[in-house]
Amino acid sequence: MKFLLPICLFLISIPSTVAAHASLTRAQTREAEQRLSEMGYWTGTVDGLFDTATRSALVAFQKWEGRAVTGELTLDELEAIRTSAAPKAREPGYEHVEVDLDRQVLLLINDEGGVRVLSVSTGSGKEFVEEGQTSISYTPRGRFLVYEKESGWKNGPLGSTYYANFISGGVAIHGSRNVPNEPASHGCIRIPMFAAREVGKLLRVGTIVLVYDKVSFVSAKDWAENPKLKQAALLSTTANAYEYEDETKTRPSYVANKKARSKMIRA
């Protein structure tokens, strides 16, 4: 008899546990999609189907809210989605992009502060070898401008990019077939394939991009308020990115090669 109470309690607990992890109905999935979309998470079509875009939106939600990143839509997750608030920009008031490295999400922000949120994967912090030199897979922090864009697939020694938007040297926001839940790139900001082309259209040359973690943040309000400052910064960024092309005529080859390597895509 002394084992009866624990056994009963165990049996009573089973239904709630199973229910929390049971597959949702299509109507419940559509409700989750609709609410995620309303909060700004990039869900794709709201149709009640748990597809790649829906899962990516759920992962972005879990990252933003500090929940366990499972990518599984359960009743517990649905309830959390129902009661959560929309993500907010770190610096609202002007159109730009924010990359939160701690949360591993990207926010596209409009003039009114509205957001669209994507899950990303950034620099892993691990060592890698490029042309015989050891480097660190690092995504730079700071304020940047999109200074160059590419369409479609481009291949390089460190991987492939899809609709790349360059912000610093070889670092770009680009589509990738491999966007894990954790940092895994050589320094680039990988985004899901389903959104890459549209993001490429939205990120025009000159788009402000803020990349930060919990200890580093640089404002770009002065760029937003003074177009001449932003234009000067864009010209400087572009000149630095392509400086090595002119240096090949006047500088030793080892200097030119160093500049050229800085443009190597860090996919």
Tell me the average pLDDT across 196-223: 97
**Mean pLDDT computed over every residue of the chain:** 87
Predicted pLDDT at 263:
60
**Confidence band (pLDDT; 50, 70, 90) for 243?**
low
Inform me whether the pLDDT recorded for 249 exceeds 50: no
Higher pLDDT, 171 or 251: 171
Interstrand relation of 142-145 and 208-212 (parallel, antiparallel or unpaired): antiparallel
**Confidence band (pLDDT; 50, 70, 90) for 216?**
very high
Predicted pLDDT at 66:
98
124-175: pLDDT as tens digits: 999 988 888 898 999 999 999 999 999 999 988 888 999 999 999 889 999 9
43-80: pLDDT as tens digits: 999 999 999 999 999 999 999 999 999 999 999 999 99
Residue 260, token pair as written in the block: 């050229």
Q: Using CA atoms, how far apart are residues 44 and 54, in angstroms rounded to an integer? A: 7
3-state secondary structure at position 25? coil
Predicted pLDDT at 8:
43
Inform me whether the pLDDT recorded for 260 exceeds 90: no
Q: Above pLDDT 70, what percent of the chain?
A: 84
Contacts 24+ apart (CB under 8 A), 17-26: 19/75, 20/74, 20/75, 20/76, 21/72, 21/74, 21/75, 21/76, 22/74, 22/75, 24/50, 24/73, 24/74, 24/75, 24/78
3-state secondary structure at position 96? strand
Q: Above pLDDT 90, what percent of the chain?
A: 75
**Confidence band (pLDDT; 50, 70, 90) for 30?**
very high
Predicted pLDDT at 256:
32
Inform me whether the pLDDT recorded for 248 exceeds 80: no
Question: Which residue has tokens 């309000």?
Answer: 221
Inform me whether the pLDDT recorded for 12 exceeds 70: no
**Confidence band (pLDDT; 50, 70, 90) for 240?**
confident
Residues, the chain:
267
Predicted pLDDT at 200:
97
Query: Residue 233, Cα to own-chain centre: how many angstroms?
Result: 24
72-114: pLDDT as tens digits: 999 999 999 999 999 999 999 999 999 999 999 999 999 998 9
